[in-house]
Amino acid sequence: MTINTPRCVIRPVRARDAEALFDIRQRVARFQGRTDRTLDETRAMYADMESREPGGQPGWHQFVVEDRESTIVGDIGVNFESPLPRQVEIGYSLHPDHWGRGYASEALAALLDHLFASRDLHRAIAITGAENHRSRTLLERLGFRHEGTMIQSWWERDEERWSDEVAYAVINSEWRSRQDGSGGGT
């Protein structure tokens, strides 16, 4: 599955993407204090994902976001196993050099359009750091609603501390009405 937008290409991750995406995660961590895995763990995870059909099996599947010059600018992860059937969890990261340019909005909207249209999905959720105001604003702009705050739920490996997370969600009918311009909810 490959999705083309006016400025992006969204495609399944390949093992050879590990170094570029790991570099992006490290750059993002400098601003947000959130790290989750080593380069070796990233390589192994992407090699496993490359061997599976995206969304064809439960679990996380990573999608690379490239600009029109085929430069990797970020990624979007989709968990097809959790939280429950007909729901997905999404996560994303974008190279700081591309923040504020609309790449994350464009890529997330295109992938969510695809997922809601091609699967019998009811709901998508996203969890981000409580202090990540850029991500929270992005989710709200896309039509996600804040559903709760989880206190000390994420272990910051590099900083050796616990941090809070916030949960956001959007259901299919809300997503479709926003995309159609009717604005209504359920």
154-180: pLDDT as tens digits? 887 777 889 899 999 999 999 998 877
> Does residue 8 surpass a pLDDT of 80?
yes
Question: What does the pLDDT average to over 139-163?
Answer: 89
- Chain length of the chain: 186
User: For the whole model, what pTM was predicted?
Assistant: 0.85
Contact yes or no for 163/130 (Cβ under 8 A): yes
Question: What does the pLDDT average to over 50-77?
Answer: 88
Per-residue pLDDT tens for 89-109? Answer: 999 999 999 999 999 999 999
Q: Where are the domains positioned within the chain?
A: 3-180
Per-residue pLDDT tens for 16-42? Answer: 999 999 888 888 776 555 556 788 888
- Helix/strand/coil percentages in the chain, nearest 5: 35, 35, 30
Q: Where are the beta strands (DSSP E) in the chain?
A: 3-4, 8-12, 60-67, 72-79, 87-94, 123-129, 145-156, 161-171
CATH number corresponding to 3-180: 3.40.630.30
Return the pLDDT at 184.
Answer: 45
More confident residue, 56 or 20: 20
